[in-house]
Chain A
Amino acid sequence: MPEPPRAPLRVEFPFTRSLGPVLRAFLTGLRERTVLGVRATDGRVLVPPVEYDPVTADELRELAEVGPTGTVTTWAWNPAPRRGQPLATPFSWVLVRLDGADTALLHALDAPGPEAVRTGLRVRIRWARDRTGAITDIACFEPFDSAPGRPATAHDGVFADPVAEITAPARLDYVHTAGRAQHAHLTALADHRITGERCPSCRKVYVPPRGVCPVCGVATAEQVEVGPRGTVTTYCVVNIKAANLDVEVPYVYAHIALDGADLALHGRIDGIPYDRVRMGLRVEPVWLPGGAHPDHYRPAGEPDAPYDSYRELL
């Protein structure tokens, strides 16, 4: 059996984050080269700051400025940086307890090799040249000899033009592999044939096939060619343009029960004015060159199917 088709699936979105008062002050502070922590109920200074006490659940709002220098509390060498990481060359992930803070901040340390990194190493912030109010305003840390011990000082967290919201783009890259049933379906589609699979137990035909009947809970394997003609069971007229869809509105989005299939699939109806489409309309697929699926369905020129012939497929 030939290898099933594989294709990349990229999931990518510029998520936004409204920050609330504590993180707003923290990120705005980074823009101004000021690192703020928050004082917990037990007096510790937490950096990065949190809104609610990790021990008591109290609301925390008392901000404190800590130093730009600190001590590495633990680390891990990263020999092969990936897209989006703080440095393009090999670096060390570090937890840094900044002077005046009681907790450590995760960031990157620019060091020539793992032999240059150790727990207890003294470091300082290397600020990014262009700062926007984001954790990346700290470009990275760098080794720096200095005496520890500067205590935190109270800070009102007030800055001109505070950052209210950030964008946090995220991207996930997958490789999607078609399963056996989908592979067979795709192979038939390439010949402009639409196939489903019949459940060995209930005898119902699934289109598109998923290799399993979810009602009986058994695998399906028997290939059944359906259509090409079918019946519009129900539909709507779309008057609002969907994102990333190159179709002029209004158009008809329909559920189509192909002849021989036991459930309806979805498709666009064209070749007839949108306001003349109706339940029971008999249609046939229209293929365009290079299309993986029928581009749309058009009237087949037959009398409408009677309601009772498709009501169970609604």
Chain B
Amino acid sequence: MPHEPVAVVGVGQTRHAAARRDVSIAGLVREAALRALADAGLGWADIDAVVIGKAPDFFEGVMMPELYLADALGAVGKPMLRVHTAGSVGGSTALVAAQLVKARVHTTVLALAFEKQSESNAMWGLSLPVPFQQPLLAGAGGFFAPHIRAYMRRSGAPETIGSLVAHKDRRNALRNPYAHLHEHGITLEKVQASPMLWDPVRYSETCPSSDGACAMVLTGRAGAARSPTPPAWVHGGAMRSEPTLFPGKDFVSPRAGKECAADVYRQAGITDPRRQIDVLELYVPFSWYEPMWLENLGFAAEGRGWRLTEAGVTGMDGDLPVNPSGGVLSTNPIGASGMIRFAEAALQVRGRAGEHQIDGARRALGHAYGGGSQFFAMWLVGTDPPAG
């Protein structure tokens, strides 16, 4: 029996912000879920199972929050399961939901990911004082900055590339009503004049800390046929893992990322990603990761990703737009950030991305990674149903 084709028929996001003090965690996830259901024209009774993801529980200090969120997500009497793959979890959650539909385990599945970072401190949650170990000496950006310097050395990229990405993404966010940061007066000069926090990473080249949730409704062929709005079809999806540290680990271009992308392209029949994919939503928590991922995912040869950025190819009006939503640099509820990438890719191929819609987008890649470049999750969605 062939697999069921999988379609995204509903997408919902919260209004993301540094602190959503107006809602509980339940109220936050509810906001995204209701918007996804409304987009799909469905109600709670139409959902057969709920898949929920978030990053480490220390990020809010609620152990197994999914237990208490079943009521808010209409999951009573239905299967509900939790996914956890660090920062990539939003993507992994979408893929688990997609697999449940693909395998015909369930007909219609609600996927949801969230983080309410204001209830804790992510840096604290990631740096517990484990005895006998040398503590990390540098704070959040200090983990990433040395890898960025390694990329600059390897590629010969000019030091302005990071500021170009940050400026572009923050400008793009102005078109996205759900984005956390709306920096109306942002200019390239302001980005380049922002404080150097972890040299070579400037303040404006780092992601914010956000409260937010994202939800999607996934279903099969029959559900897509009944959908009041155009669906996004899943053409391929994959996850890969590798250890955080081992001899030969390439933090600039991790092997797990390359292999994950290759698997997605094989499933989707993509042989030339640069030409065949119209828009990318990549997990870029620090601006320099845009050119790094362009190389890792096969959109540019090794050492040449920054040239696409520099030439404006990744801008809203370039021929390979990256993060028209404003990306993680503008919105970062960690556990939800990966799902937002997947959901924004779906919105683009459904023609429902509003002010940040890329004209004629028919194939889009959603990408997530996390845990010290340990976990990768990606999917490719299209306007047309998959072949076969």
Contact = CB atoms under 8 A, between A and B. Distances in A.
B291 to A, nearest CB: 16
Interface stretch (A49-57, A127-135, A154-162): A49-57
A50 B23 contact: no
Contacts of A205: 247
Interface string B161-197: 0000000000000000000000000000000000111
B3 interface: no
Nearest to A24: B24
A276 interface: no
A272 interface: no
A19 interface: yes
Interface in A270-314: 279, 292-293, 307, 311-314
Given A54-B71, A247-B137, A238 B142 contact: yes
A202 B74 contact: no
Given A57-B73, A164-B21, A266-B134, A254 B27 contact: no
Contact of A55 (B24, B76, B150): B76
Contacts of B199: 236-239, 250
A85 interface: no
B128 A9 contact: yes
A292 B24 CA distance: 43
Interface stretch (B93-101, B116-124, B297-305, B312-320): B116-124
A13 B58 contact: yes
Contact of B145 (A15, A206, A236, A313): A236
B44 A234 contact: no
B266 interface: no
For the side of the interface on B, what is the size category? 35 or more
B248 A54 contact: no
Contacts of A254: 146
B351 interface: no
B20 A239 contact: no
Contact of A236 (B74, B198, B248): B198
Contact of A255 (B74, B146, B243): B146
A236 B142 contact: yes
B361 interface: no
Interface in A74-115: none
B149 A279 contact: yes
Contacts of A206: 247
B24 A51 contact: yes
Interface in A202-241: 202, 204-206, 213-215, 233-240
A236 B146 CA distance: 5
A18 B58 contact: no
B79 interface: no
Given A215-B247, A242-B137, A253-B137, A57 B132 contact: no
B131 interface: yes
Interface in B103-162: 116, 118-121, 123-125, 128-132, 134-139, 141-142, 145-150, 153-154
Nearest to A11: B128
A18 B247 contact: no
B223 to A, nearest CB: 20
Nearest to A186: B132
Nearest to B43: A57
Contacts of B195: 239-240
B30 A235 contact: no
Contacts of B201: 236
Interface of B: 19-24, 26-27, 30, 44, 58, 60-62, 71-74, 76, 116, 118-121, 123-125, 128-132, 134-139, 141-142, 145-150, 153-154, 195-201, 243, 245-252
Given A13-B58, A234-B146, A236-B200, 15 more contacts: A5-B131, A18-B21, A18-B116, A52-B71, A55-B76, A205-B247, A213-B246, A215-B247, A239-B195, A239-B196, A240-B141, A243-B123, A263-B249, A268-B137, A314-B153
Closest 6 CB pairs of A and B: A236-B145, A15-B61, A57-B74, A20-B24, A7-B131, A237-B199
